[in-house]
Chains A and B, each alone.
Chain A
């Protein structure tokens, strides 16, 4: 079946540091890929998405590129802020299979001032 593997956390960075959170996936078809974020005390929310190979999703300074050849969707941000501290989840939806969804285990990011 489908699977998503994220780099293990927690990740601790200083403010303005560069962020990369790795995500790789296994899927039989051509899934859509997502990053969701959960801020402290809040629910899960969509951060960005990409629906086909070489698409780049971006939002709030975060970016991720759908790499079919390496089955990856790494999350990056050039300069993190304290307010980016959260848990980040990589996920896929198997669009030919009515959007069956698979999530990674999440990576906790803490940004220190």
Chain B
């Protein structure tokens, strides 16, 4: 079974530029998560999808961040315009929702540097 795929793996942009990240979850996984992980901290949930719908986006800075999940499969996360404090690793995870546990499978992440 293929794992969660993310691209690009690394991205360097200047502040005020825009950037987009792509995630392909494990086949059949209904739930998809985007996290921001700043160095030395735990992953912070930005947005969670269940199939096509948004379950939680309470911590997504909606003035600059947006996300969509296409046909309940792939997802993109966009930042426009980027700020210096957006420098972080952006993680995508998916979950099969087996039983009641919601264990997550993570992609390798995209390391974003904003200069």
Which A residues contact B (CB, under 8 angstroms)?
4, 32, 34, 36, 43-46, 49, 51, 89, 91, 93, 95, 97-106
Contacts and interface: CB of A to CB of B under 8 A. Distances in A.
Contacts of A4: 42
Interface of B: 31, 33, 35, 40-45, 48, 50, 55-56, 91, 93, 95, 97, 99-109
A32 B35 CA distance: 19
A57 B56 CA distance: 27
15 contacts: A32-B100, A32-B102, A32-B103, A34-B104, A36-B104, A43-B91, A45-B105, A46-B103, A89-B43, A95-B102, A97-B56, A98-B48, A103-B42, A105-B40, A106-B41
A75 B92 CA distance: 25
A103 B43 contact: yes
Given A98-B55, A100-B48, A100-B55, A93 B101 contact: yes
Given A98-B31, A99-B31, A99-B97, A105 B103 contact: no
